[in-house]
Amino acid sequence: MPSGRSDLEVMRLFTNCVQRLVERRGIRDGTITSRFNLQASAVRTSFAFDVGDQDDLFSTMTAFRLFTAPSEDTHFPRVCNVLERMLSDTELREANRENRAAWLRAERGDVLLQVPGHNLNERAAYDLWTNAEVFHADRDKEALYRGLPAEMQGFIRTRASSFVITGTRILCAQRNVADAHLRSVGR
């Protein structure tokens, strides 16, 4: 549940949390990636997955989670709604709407992974991996993830990492909107 903060307090919190996210080494130094390599021959097919530095990715995901958890004041859709109410500047309001649309596209992603009983878009892959592997927060998701072949786990990791990387760019753009509004109201 949101904390009951005022809209201005939510905006300040959001901008501060985005700043802390981009200061993480995984983002600041670009040590997290989302790479997939397939090599095939008549004899053998091999897959290789690379999400960069695992510790940096986990650290970054801890900070990123503040924007994806519905219980947080900094949940991205909530921030978009708060800004929509607050903004009177047409350009900032349009930028807010563009960022919301970009977030929805990032959640959808370009690839739909099919695992037993589930179709995983980018957001669902992030949710599965985050709750199964990073935070061990959901035993059912952990069991599902552990039961998947290593190749599928690799696909899920790269899709989750891709969502974090793309999402961070969108969060930075939204922070610019929030900062511009806060400056315009002298806060």
Q: Tens place of pLDDT for every residue, the chain, 187 residues?
A: 567 889 999 999 999 999 999 998 888 887 777 766 666 666 666 566 566 677 777 888 889 999 999 999 999 999 999 999 999 999 999 999 999 999 999 999 988 888 888 899 999 999 999 999 888 888 999 999 999 998 889 889 888 888 998 999 999 999 999 999 999 988 6
* 86 within a domain of the structure (yes/no): yes
Whether residue 68 lies inside any domain: the answer is yes
Domains in the chain: how many in total?
1
Residue 136: both structure tokens together: 């061990």
Q: Please report whether residue 75 resides in a domain.
A: yes
- CA pair distance 79, 66, nearest whole angstrom: 11
Full residue range of the structural domain in which residue 176 is found? 7-109+166-184
- Nearest Cα neighbor of 182 from 4, 3, 14 is 14
* Residue 133 placed within a domain: no
User: What's the CA gap between 34 and 18, in Å, rounded?
Assistant: 21
Are 14 and 178 in contact by the 8 Å Cβ rule? The answer is: yes
pTM given for the model:
0.88
The whole-angstrom separation of Cα 143 and Cα 137 is: 11
Cα 30 to Cα 50: distance, rounded to the nearest angstrom: 13
